[in-house]
Amino acid sequence: MFEGMDMEKMAQMLQKAQESAQKLQEESKSKTFSAKSGGGMVKVSANGEGEIIDLEIDDSLLEDKDSMQILLISAINDVLKMVEEDKKLMASKMLGGFGGFGS
């Protein structure tokens, strides 16, 4: 299966891939994504790992629990979709640099 393959070259490629993945993971931590719902009445921010790092709720929603829950769910789902899309883009870029797998 590995006949004719240069194992040293393969090891170097794997090392490079690991370094690249580590770099992308660190870059991801520093990114911030934000989503709003209800015309900005709710704002949710997450880092590149999908951790919620900030939450803003307009005071007018504090007496309307049902609306607040709906708007929170919407904003959280939107910000998590942004994070997921960014992860896919980063993976595609990484794989694209190794023989065009991600292209």
pLDDT, tens only, 83-102: 999 988 888 877 776 554 44
Quick one: pLDDT at residue 103?
43
pLDDT tens digits for 61-81? 999 999 999 999 999 999 999
Helix axes 65-96, 7-30, angle to 10 degrees: 150
Residue 51 CA, chain-centre distance (Å), reads: 10
Per-residue model confidence (pLDDT) at position 1? 52
pLDDT of residue 41: 97
Tens digits of residue pLDDT in 15-51: 887 887 788 778 888 899 999 999 999 999 999 989 9
The residue with tokens 């240069």 is 6
**What is the architecture, at CATH level 2, of domain 31-88?**
2-Layer Sandwich (3.30)
User: What confidence score (pLDDT) does residue 68 get?
Assistant: 97
Q: Which two tokens stand for residue 98?
A: 């190794």
